Amino acid sequence: MTAELHLGLERRIGKRSAAVIEKHLGITTVGGLLNYFPRRYLTRGELTPISEVPLDEEITLIARVVTTSTRAMRARRGTLTDVIITDDSAQDSGAPARLPGAGIPGTLKVSFFNGHRAKAELLPGRRAMFSGKVTRFGRALSLTNPDFQLLDEDPDTPATDPEKLAGMPIPVYPATAKLTSWSIQKVISTLLDTADLDDLDDPLPAEVSAREKFLPAAEAYRLIHVPEVPADWQRARDRFRYQEALVLQSALARRRAQLAAEEATARRPVADGLLNAFDRQLPFTLTAGQSAVGKTLAEELSQDSPMNRLLQGEVGSGKTIVALRAMLQVVDAGGQAALLAPTEVLAAQHFESIRRTLGPLSRDGLLGGLGPDAVQVTLLTGSMPAAARKQAMLDAASGTAGIVIGTHALLGDTVSFYDLGLIVVDEQHRFGVEQRDALRAKASKPPHLLVMTATPIPRTVAMTVFGDLETSILDELPAGRAPIATHVVGLAENPGWAGRIWSRSREEIDAGHQVYVVCPKIGEDDDGDFSPGEAEPSAADLEGEGPARELASVTAVVEHLQDEPALAGVPLAPLHGRQDPVLKSATMASFTANETKLLVSTTVIEVGVDVHNATLMVILDADRFGISQLHQLRGRVGRGGLPGTCLLVTTLETGHPSRRRLDAVAATTDGFVLSQEDLKLRREGDILGASQSGGRSALKLLRVLEHEAVIAKARQDAQRIVAADPGLVDHSALAVAIEEYLNPEKEAFLERG
């Protein structure tokens, strides 16, 4: 163990400073503070472009004072000092030489109440570093009562020649309103002088550091906090970024190794089983991808170590058949399979369609015992009537049910299986590592696991978020799949199109087809349907937009459509998550049977729902949905060889940032391109949310989308290290770092205790 890094801060920087750091940053150890890295660096001799400063967050910037004036306040006692600061950009642009003031680009008004020090120190021409929140009043930017520090006669700056000084980077730390970046910097400089960094244990193996020519840990800590030239912090940051990637990937490699070392029951294919019978009755031939993935799964299920596999494939690529074939192999071998869906509607749909697909090969509970020629398929959801639910649980526990389909209710403590051999998780983005583990715990021996996702995941995200799984991809759609045309319908510029949407719906219905209408809300005053753990940020999250607009709701739209002349006589029905489950199933059944022609719903139909006759998808207030949600939604149409159309309806003006998302969705049906686009809009924390990453600490220097090469290389190193030294006994510093990554709270507790 690296004792120095775990030492209490007060031992190195004194009680008072340590108390301040703990209060404002929550950091208590030497290692904690050394790892509090600057967010970025300013250059001492360069002014910060004011136009690039973000509004309403704690920022630090360097600027030159233009004017300073002080006056008495009118309404209360005291003075107001106004300082106009500039980034000098106005001169460069050759703008007319008028006195810069508030509202002129490249300038900022800084106001101080009773700012005696400001009045004395912020004299015209001086350069200073300011720290505070920039806000906007009309066109003018302003900064009120910031902390500041003069740069020209900074007594703490070591005497160096002026040229070198001008190029010196100034670290900017994530600051708080009470603790400025430079206070943090001072404390860390003190710490670097007092801490004993000579014998730091390095989580990076020596051969990796040698190969990559990384700085030693102690020097890297010094240079990331007190760089003399930009290359200093760049080299230090490269090292720590790699370290972060290696720690993360080693944690995942260790988890993969642990999972692989577990003993599972091999479920080998049998010659004359259900799977063979099923393949003979399939009305189509499998695509090349389905066959290849099927072969991989068949082989892995035949091993006595558990399969842990992620299957990615576009909406409609035919993942369900692949999963069903794997389930049948397991049933043939005497085991049970569970299929876990994110919503009740989807679970019910899977239940119906799997029984339909199996045809005579499936039985339900009423038809008696399990024969060798058929499998009992059982639905088990939280909202089933008590008696049916009890029967389903009994069938799962007794082994009568060969395939059990359900929602996360399957995770409940009361549900048990006779011999669970395979778990299939559909639409992974709703399930995290903990839930995967809860399911694995359902079997006496670890079951095989197949996770399916329709949201294509960029390679590095897969490596990080789903790093404990091996990956397969279905990259072609079954033949005969019709294209989907997507159009953005902007009601702001074309109010007349509102009526056109419904006459267009009527045309589809008259041609014998069906229509989905999706709304962001259920009723007038609610937030729509959100499943637990939903990862998708709303437009409001992304843009901080207020709830000013009246959004389309299922209730209001149904009311409106009942009086819509174009739809006179059309059977339509509402569907949303707050309805009684019996009503929900009845509505879905009626839509599936082509009795209901138009379904007005929330995103409950987002995933998996499979009605081939539906050809038109109308998404109202489409700007309220995320990119991958829209892509999933439109995948509901164009499934039965009939061309599909998706209308993304919005009341936002052209050029509104949220409309770019709609344009992106309309521009391509390539889910991979869209998911890249989508991830760019998300915060890193959403990608690596607690439940997804398997660890709780946020990444500091690593950006999953940006640092693909780093992550890939670290993954290789991690794989090699863990394979050679599974217990990490010869890599104790790495083992400690992994522990800290996985259990930061526990670590903090140990430090205090």
Binding residues for ligand ADP, rule: CB under 6 A, are 284, 286-287, 290, 313, 315-321, 454, 478, 610, 639
269 binds, among ligand ADP, Mg ion, none (CB under 5 to 8 A by kind): none
Nearer to ligand ADP, 317 or 407 (CB): 317
22 binds, among Mg ion, ligand ADP, none (CB under 5 to 8 A by kind): none
Q: What SS3 class is residue 180?
A: coil
610 binds, among ligand ADP, Mg ion, none (CB under 5 to 8 A by kind): ligand ADP
Nearer to Mg ion, 87 or 426 (CB): 426
Nearer to ligand ADP, 316 or 581 (CB): 316
301 binds, among Mg ion, ligand ADP, none (CB under 5 to 8 A by kind): none
315 binds, among Mg ion, ligand ADP, none (CB under 5 to 8 A by kind): ligand ADP
CB contact at 8 A, 618 and 590: no
Shortest Cβ distance from residue 409 to ligand ADP (Å)? 21
CB contact at 8 A, 582 and 323: no
Return the residue matching tokens 């259900």: 274
Shortest Cβ distance from residue 284 to ligand ADP (Å)? 4
Closest C-alpha among 381, 356, 394 to residue 584: 381
Nearer to Mg ion, 38 or 608 (CB): 608
Element of type H or E holding 140: strand 140-144
Shortest Cβ distance from residue 320 to Mg ion (Å)? 5
State the Cα–Cα distance between residues 615 and 482, nearest whole angstrom.
10
Nearer to Mg ion, 171 or 608 (CB): 608
Return the residue matching tokens 């390539």: 670
Shortest Cβ distance from residue 215 to Mg ion (Å)? 49
Q: By Cβ distance, which residue is nearest to Mg ion?
A: 608
Nearer to ligand ADP, 284 or 530 (CB): 284
205 binds, among Mg ion, ligand ADP, none (CB under 5 to 8 A by kind): none
533 binds, among ligand ADP, Mg ion, none (CB under 5 to 8 A by kind): none
Return the residue matching tokens 């006692």: 77
Do the bridges between strand 107-113 and strand 79-86 make them parallel or antiparallel, or are there none, so unpaired? antiparallel
3-state secondary structure labels for all residues of 636-657: CCCCCCCCEEEEEEECCCCCCH
Nearer to Mg ion, 321 or 619 (CB): 321
290 binds, among ligand ADP, Mg ion, none (CB under 5 to 8 A by kind): ligand ADP
Element of type H or E holding 503: helix 497-510
Shortest Cβ distance from residue 280 to ligand ADP (Å)? 15
CB burial class (10 A; 0-12, 13-18, 19+) of residue 491? middle
Nearer to ligand ADP, 68 or 312 (CB): 312
Residues contacting 740, CB < 8 A, separation 6+? 697, 747
State the Cα–Cα distance between residues 110 and 75, nearest whole angstrom.
20
Shortest Cβ distance from residue 347 to ligand ADP (Å)? 14
State the Cα–Cα distance between residues 625 and 630, nearest whole angstrom.
6
Return the residue matching tokens 């005053």: 525
Shortest Cβ distance from residue 344 to Mg ion (Å)? 15
Return the residue matching tokens 């379904």: 599
Do the bridges between strand 470-474 and strand 644-650 make them parallel or antiparallel, or are there none, so unpaired? unpaired
334 binds, among ligand ADP, Mg ion, none (CB under 5 to 8 A by kind): none
CB contact at 8 A, 85 and 110: yes
The one-letter amino acid code at 137 reads: F
Shortest Cβ distance from residue 397 to ligand ADP (Å)? 29
Sign of CA dihedral 120, 126, 131, 135: positive
State the Cα–Cα distance between residues 627 and 682, nearest whole angstrom.
11
CB contact at 8 A, 600 and 557: yes
Shortest Cβ distance from residue 272 to ligand ADP (Å)? 23
- Positions touching Mg ion (CB under 5 A) are 608
316 binds, among ligand ADP, Mg ion, none (CB under 5 to 8 A by kind): ligand ADP
Sign of CA dihedral 565, 571, 575, 579: positive
Nearer to Mg ion, 305 or 471 (CB): 471
Shortest Cβ distance from residue 480 to ligand ADP (Å)? 6
306 binds, among Mg ion, ligand ADP, none (CB under 5 to 8 A by kind): none
Nearer to ligand ADP, 79 or 357 (CB): 357
Nearer to ligand ADP, 190 or 613 (CB): 613
Shortest Cβ distance from residue 326 to ligand ADP (Å)? 13
